[in-house]
């Protein structure tokens, strides 16, 4: 019973520290570095928390972790797309048009759908190397961490007008 609570506490601590360096960046290049670091920190924390949340035999681990890396590589492209849309939105804040607002919200919804589709795809792939319950747990942990990350990110972004 303690393990799920411990995982949640770890996730909050990790994501809080990942966003602790919220000093405003002075250039687009700096912003891109900060966003890439944020993404990389999230993915590293996710892998660590997943590792602590599942039990694998050595044979299962040898098959699972390369697949998980592939999953994260695909996820990275989706995260990068969201961060780019967020950067564009942030750059336009003082002069947002209704079209800009709709484009940003559309990008968020597209990200949600892509992440959903990715998780469905990889749930099946993970089941090819670990039991269904373990595969489900991996996706559940990743989903929870994704929700935490989305909340942290959205707290920093003003609502559209």
Residue 106 included in any domain: yes
Average confidence score pLDDT of the chain: 84
**pLDDT at residue 113 greater than cutoff 80:** yes
The domain of 98 spans 2-155
pLDDT-derived band at 122 (thresholds 50, 70, 90) equals very high
> 22-40 pLDDT, tens per residue?
444 456 677 778 878 878 8
**Which residues, including other chains, have CB under 8 Å from residue 83's CB and lie 6 or more apart?**
35, 36, 38, 39
How many domains are contained in the chain? 1
Both tokens assigned to 143 = 């989903």
Span 126-142, mean pLDDT?
98
Both tokens assigned to 52 = 């602590």
**Which residues, including other chains, have CB under 8 Å from residue 47's CB and lie 6 or more apart?**
68, 72
Residue 126 included in any domain: yes
Say what the pLDDT of residue 10 is: 40
pTM, entire model: 0.78
Rounded CA separation 13/128 (Å):
32
Residue 30 included in any domain: yes
Residue 80 included in any domain: yes
**Which residues, including other chains, have CB under 8 Å from residue 112's CB and lie 6 or more apart?**
none
């Amino acid at each position: 019973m303690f393990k799920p609570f411990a995982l949640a506490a770890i996730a909050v601590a990790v994501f809080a520290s990942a966003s602790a360096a919220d000093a405003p960046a002075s250039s687009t290049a700096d912003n891109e570095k900060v966003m890439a670091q944020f993404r990389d920190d999230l993915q590293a924390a996710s892998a660590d928390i997943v590792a602590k949340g599942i039990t694998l035999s050595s044979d299962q681990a040898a098959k699972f972790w390369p697949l998980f890396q592939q999953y994260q590589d695909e996820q990275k492209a989706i995260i990068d797309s969201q961060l780019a849309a967020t950067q564009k939105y942030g750059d336009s804040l003082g002069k947002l048009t209704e079209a800009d607002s709709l484009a940003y919200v559309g990008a968020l919804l597209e990200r949600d759908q892509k992440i959903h589709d990715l998780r469905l795809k990889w749930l099946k792939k993970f089941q090819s190397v670990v039991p269904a319950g373990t595969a489900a747990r991996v996706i559940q942990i990743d989903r929870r961490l994704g929700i935490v990350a989305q909340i942290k990110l959205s707290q920093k972004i003003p609502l559209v007008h």
